[in-house]
Structure 1
Amino acid sequence: MIDTLLFSRRRRMMAALLVLAAAAGCALAPGSGNAATPTASSSVGSSPAWSTCPLPGQPTRQCATVRVPVDAAKPNGEKVGIAISRLPAAKRSERIGALVWNPGGPGESGLWAPAALLPPELSERFDLIGFDMRGTGKSGALPECGETTDELKRLSETPGLAKVQHRARLAAAARSYTERCTRKLGPIAGHLGSRDVARDIDAIRAALGEEKISLLMGSYGTMLAQAYLTLHPDRVRAAVLDGTMDPAVSGVRASLDGSGSQTDTNYFSNDPDDAAREKLRLTLSGFTPWCRAHEDVCPVHADPLGSAEKAAGLKGRAPQDKAARTKRVLGAAVAAMFVPDRWQALAGALGAARTGSTTALDEFAAQGVPKELADVMKPTLDLGYDLGVRCTDFAWPRTVDGVIDTYVKQGGGEAGYIAADYLPCAFWPRPEKPLGALKGSAGVTPLVINGEHDPRTGIEGARAAARRLGARLLTFPGRTHEATTGGVECAQRAAVVYLTNGKTADLPECGIRR
């Protein structure tokens, strides 16, 4: 089911970690109880009424709701509740402040916080703050607009966009879909973009009682970070942008790069062994540094990732049952990735695999991801929400002819299946200008992290955004997207150093550094 949701429209990523569960071939196992959801609420600027909402691996988790205006220009108008979560810093005496996280998407749930995937220093020194973006999850989830009309769907089957006929009918269909969808969504339809979400983040900051916050945002979340840095530079202590998008590109270009191109199916390397190694690094993102630091209880502490690769048949001479071994180890890694209480048992299972015993790995894989976590991590996949974000954030031609011609120019004639989704952007309501080339200020120097061969957020876009923000750019070899939660150890160390001292000097090397 997860693969179906991810690729049926080839438009948006599911939460990357749930995709790994499907890739590993392990089901999302039932857990005990239901996912806790925030019920307490507060007004902008007041202290939230926190309620306990523990999750597996996050026993101290707290939840609340902050109510914000749908339209910032109408502060007394319609409100939407933004659901937030907090993992209090484990070392209260060494607490630095609040670290606000967002995974991107747009539409991936941020209400949980990826403490188990990050270096432990961050959850020790910071309150980790997660939130669902307006219109998603527990933050006023919007009604679904559904897919586009048959007239637009036929565009996805057109062999060449340059030869498209009946453009007037396409324009009428796109306008009709826009009008129907925006009526269903209501006033928030034109207020789903990154500027509005950045204002929500500042309402969260105020409700937390923090003078300044730190940011850790990945993928599409880097659009939120850039918007916040532009709107409220004096309220940012430090900001890590991980897998950075360039808001200055056109909407057509952005949709081609991240919403339906071949990179969706090639997110991992085309080589199956390389893809499996990448998945293991991602799933063991938090386990690896934990194992290195706990050699007394982790028998594979000398090389945690290498031990997993060897158990999966990915190192040394390939065994005849390599496919089965790889599936087994990936399944075990996924079952443990979010729950630190399971890490010691996983370490023991990997240690046992060195002597040929795989029983423990099989038993581990059978557990799957706890249901409570799977429930809270569900993304918003509806096209209407996606249009509300992308049509607002990026610059689009104001006619269907212009959108089609731009797709032909920038994506070639074979981009019909993407254009079919985004023709409504020609008519979508835009109360504000597109984000464009957002610039930083002298108040804070962000850290931009990007893979040299990231297939989702290309290195050139990261370089352009870093240059405009006056940021420090840290690049690393490889394809990993969102390195801080993806097991790229040098990037994780750099993020820890930067976030804890607020300075971009003396960061660890990552092989390629600018």
Structure 2
Amino acid sequence: MRPLFKALTGVLAAGVLAGASTPGVEAADAGPPGRSPTTRNVIDWKPCPQDATAECGTLRLPVDWARPSAEKFDLAVARRKATDPDRRVGVLLVNPGGPGDSGVDFAVRRATSHFSADVQETFDIVGFDPRGVGGSQPVKCSAKLLDQAPSAYPGDQQEFDQLAAYNRALRQDCRRHSGPVFDHADTLSVVRDMDAVRGSLGEEKINYFGHSYGTLIGEQYAERYGDRIRTMALTANIDHSLGTREFLVSSAATAEDSFHQFVKWCESTSSCALHGRDVTVVWDDLLARADRGEVHDPQSPDQVLTARAIAFKAFKEYFYGPDWDELAAYVAGLDAQKRVPEERLRTLRPQPRAPQGAEERTRAEPFYAVFCQDWRFRPKNYQEYAGLTRAELRAAPHLRGSPRVHAAVAGCVGWPDRVNNPQHRLHITEAPEILMLHSLHDPANNYTWATNVHRQTRRTTVLLPYEGAGHSVYGRTDCTRDAVDDYLVERKLPDSGSRCAPATEN
């Protein structure tokens, strides 16, 4: 997922645009169950403060679509108009993933470098911040409470109970600071919002590009509003039919696979900073030293690095690209550190944070409000949780499990059993053919997730494998980019059995 999360405590809400947009026109009441209003509601577009070449606005929508006349919130929206009006085909709604990444920020700051000139000429590129994210009434929590999170690796039933109690307290705290949007941050509600955006733009059909968690928005939009789609391209796909064990183990396995891809690259590449050494041994020894408190952050010498912190940095900062050269240099640098005497280790512990000012007492943390309402992951006791952890570690012995999904599942321990958007197999009946791309060696979203989704929707989806590594797919090669461009612009799908070869550089 780009990223499923950049870090699990607040950094997902990058590009917050609260206060930057202008008020829009309130949406009409909902129509029949499962459908959004058909009345057109105009967004009052203004130049974006961050970049006047893009337009920003808001759309007022129900917090709870089952009670459309009750409390409302403002959905932040941004648009870049097609650069060649004579070629304009329609709108391309986009979501870059997360959950928690800003679609407004993507449209304003990243779309021009992400998409080809052909796509920019042909479509109005429209991004929105999903409810609870960025400028769309963001979910906020007490910074002090967020900083008191217990370990996601409890050692017994008592520590498991403490984790559950903390999660319940944090959930109530976030609800108090965020209002009722917290209880309606699930993807099904986001799907209703996206269709309201379509209506506000006066479009009978939309085009959609979703990456990572953004593919779940696309998949569920296709289930509910398939007849309102012209084209839909999904990269790094989510399989929303997985149970807890399948989700954890497959996530760990694909992270471990990326580690082995790195090792293979280093063995065959002379520029690798670890070339000629046994990379696996170097890595395992480094994590063992970190377990003993012997490794510290080169950028912050007073900060001791844990094994999990090293694994997470490798996973998120270097596997996603992938950026093998940078990873090799990072590992080599940590490995070359001098052994730190025990008496010095006691002075290299993280220092308490300084008291925060009034404006910093809360911070945005939308991840769990979305994730724990989209997935019924609720380990009931330590025995069940420990069994899941052991299975995860067996699937990824060198990465110590999944660096991100373990913490995600841990964050739902103790939540109510009721889930707004529980897992299910996709059932798409009215949508046109949807293009799916997925890396064979995606570090975050296992390639089997894409094949599972394709199997569930075989009459509706076309799967194009990218045979390389990394989480991002669209811009990896001419093959991946051209496949998406040809499909979005001309509705031309790849030939059956097509594949894209891996990029030559990392």
Residue of structure 2 equivalent to 1:100 = 93
Work out the CA distance in 2 between the residues paired with 1:202 and 1:178: 29
Structure 1 spans left out of the alignment, 5+ residues: 19-33, 278-313, 324-379
Residue of structure 1 equivalent to 2:281 = none
Q: Could you say which structure has the greater relative contact order, defined with CA pairs below 8 angstroms and 6 or more residues apart?
A: 1
Q: 1:292-303 maps to which residues of 2 (within 5 A)?
A: none
Work out the CA distance in 1 between the residues paired with 2:421 and 2:151: 31
Q: 1:242-257 maps to which residues of 2 (within 5 A)?
A: 242-251=235-244, 253-254=246-247
Work out the CA distance in 1 between the residues paired with 2:247 and 2:363: 17
Work out the CA distance in 1 between the residues paired with 2:10 and 2:245: 13
Letter aligned with residue 130 of structure 1: G
Structure 1 counterpart SS, 2:452: helix
Letter aligned with residue 141 of structure 1: P
Contact 1:257–1:456, Cα closer than 8 Å, also in 2: no
Distance 1:251 1:381, change over 3 A: farther
Letter aligned with residue 477 of structure 2: V
Residue of structure 2 equivalent to 1:49 = 44
Residue of structure 2 equivalent to 1:452 = 440
Shift of 1:440: 1.8
Contact 2:24–2:42, Cα closer than 8 Å, also in 1: no
Q: Identity over the aligned pairs, expressed in percent?
A: 27
Distance 1:450 1:84, change over 3 A: same
Residue of structure 2 equivalent to 1:359 = none
1:493 to 448, 457, 482: 482
The answer as to 2:22 corresponding to 1:39 is yes
Distance 1:250 1:151, change over 3 A: farther
Work out the CA distance in 2 between the residues paired with 1:13 and 1:187: 20
Work out the CA distance in 2 between the residues paired with 1:116 and 1:66: 26
1:462 to 447, 450, 456: 450
Work out the CA distance in 2 between the residues paired with 1:148 and 1:164: 22
Distance 1:53 1:35, change over 3 A: farther
CA RMSD of aligned residues (A): 4.2
Distance 1:143 1:480, change over 3 A: same
Residue of structure 2 equivalent to 1:133 = 130
Q: 1:324-363 maps to which residues of 2 (within 5 A)?
A: none
Shift of 1:399: 2.9
Contact 1:220–1:244, Cα closer than 8 Å, also in 2: yes
The answer as to 2:182 corresponding to 1:189 is yes
Residue of structure 2 equivalent to 1:441 = 429
Distance 1:89 1:508, change over 3 A: farther
Residue of structure 2 equivalent to 1:282 = none
Q: 1:280-291 maps to which residues of 2 (within 5 A)?
A: none
User: How many residue pairs are counted as aligned between the two chains?
Assistant: 386
Residue of structure 2 equivalent to 1:404 = 385
Shift of 1:265: 9.9
Work out the CA distance in 1 between the residues paired with 2:196 and 2:243: 29
Structure 1 stretch displaced more, 194-203 or 145-154: 145-154
The answer as to 2:226 corresponding to 1:236 is no
Shift of 1:142: 2.3
Distance 1:259 1:70, change over 3 A: farther
Work out the CA distance in 1 between the residues paired with 2:10 and 2:73: 26
The answer as to 2:165 corresponding to 1:172 is yes
Work out the CA distance in 2 between the residues paired with 1:268 and 1:62: 42
Contact 1:451–1:479, Cα closer than 8 Å, also in 2: yes
Structure 1 counterpart SS, 2:194: helix
Cα deviation code 1:229-284 (max 9, x no counterpart): 1111111111100111111113565467669996799699465798x99xxxxxxx
1:80 to 68, 73, 76: 73
TM-score of the aligned structures, taking structure 2 as reference length: 0.66
Work out the CA distance in 1 between the residues paired with 2:451 and 2:401: 26
Structure 1 counterpart SS, 2:204: coil
Work out the CA distance in 1 between the residues paired with 2:231 and 2:473: 17
TM-score of the aligned structures, taking structure 1 as reference length: 0.65
2:472 to 471, 474, 482: 482
Work out the CA distance in 1 between the residues paired with 2:383 and 2:122: 50
Structure 1 counterpart SS, 2:126: strand
Residue of structure 2 equivalent to 1:69 = 62
Structure 1 stretch displaced more, 148-157 or 392-401: 148-157
Letter aligned with residue 115 of structure 1: T
